[in-house]
Chains A and B, each alone.
Chain A
């Protein structure tokens, strides 16, 4: 017999993500799902952000990695609360892993929770982890065709950080081309060219964070 079903295959993940989202709303925490390829500069950007905004916000980090806790150690060195999730080969974080991590953390008074996903431009895009927004970091060393090759992640993101702009003189990367392609998929995407190493452009990213923390507090 034919049985019509029509159910979202990832509904189990979505249900837990909704629960997380309610927790973040109750506690007025801005939750950001940070995604990128391996080596695009996610951890360096986080270290810099955590250091520069230390006086303004209380921030916490969930570090998703396939192996090792190197990144959590780097992040913890800034003074922020950091918790490592090792996926043991898994290519993305899912909402149940994040829920487990959140239950182990002290989120009292936290303004921003950064969820650093596994370095991968494909799989993390498919799994919500209860975040307010997805933020994708693309480094100029990776090539400006990436939004074209990995459409879903850029279509789903609220922010695209174009990192390592200090390398622009040495690589063939058109900020305009990458931005246009991202915008063709996603009319509301915010694009910030930055260098986590030199600090260039980070003020715009910080202003966006300030604005969103403020919005979340008022919800």
Chain B
């Protein structure tokens, strides 16, 4: 359950941003996480709720959006997103090469924006 540590880092960044922009109440925060990042959004939401009780962030909505996995074929260099059930044996749809692609996106974890007043 490393979502606790992640929520703590998230809270620290939001605090900093709220101070920078002179806002006192957080309404919403939007987080993007990669499809193969080891994040369970529900766990992150729970951790965020627990950690913000009694702060300027209490009651704010945490919105999470998954960034799909995208790979670049090692053979033909074309980019593709594997099919859901085909996640790990990722066959390139263009040239059918099976292994050794490069992951371009799907591992990220970042805060995109906050809404506050």
Contacts and interface: CB of A to CB of B under 8 A. Distances in A.
Contacts of A4: 112-113
Contact of A148 (B17, B88, B115): B88
A126 interface: yes
Contacts of A126: 2, 6, 37-39, 109
Given A9-B9, A12-B12, A187 B102 contact: yes
Interface string A181-219: 101111100000000000000000000000000000000
A184 B13 CA distance: 35
Given A1-B115, A127-B2, A8 B109 contact: yes
A6 B23 CA distance: 18
Given A9-B9, A126-B2, A181 B88 contact: yes
A155 B103 contact: yes
A3 B38 contact: no
Please indicate which of the listed interface residues B9, B17, B88 has the most CB atoms of chain A within 10 Å of its own CB.
Answer: B88
A1 B88 CA distance: 41
A7 B89 contact: no
Contacts of A184: 88-90, 98-101
B16 to A, nearest CB: 9
A10 B108 CA distance: 10
A123 B38 contact: yes
B84 interface: no
A6 B115 contact: no
B87 interface: yes
A2 interface: yes
B5 interface: yes
Nearest to B110: A8
Given A13-B9, A123-B2, A181-B88, A7 B110 contact: yes
A185 B103 CA distance: 7
A66 interface: no
A9 B110 contact: yes
B38 A152 contact: yes
A211 B110 CA distance: 35
A147 interface: yes
A94 interface: yes
B109 A10 contact: yes
Contact of A2 (B6, B110, B113): B113
A152 B2 contact: no
A9 B17 CA distance: 13
Nearest to B109: A9
B99 A183 contact: yes
A91 interface: yes
A33 to B, nearest CB: 15
Contacts of B99: 180, 183-184, 187
Interface in B60-117: 74, 87-90, 98-103, 107-117
5 contacts: A1-B115, A90-B5, A123-B2, A123-B38, A152-B38
Please provide the 8 A-B residue pairs with the shortest distance between their CB atoms, ordered closest to farther.
Answer: A123-B2, A187-B100, A151-B36, A183-B99, A148-B88, A122-B38, A184-B99, A152-B38
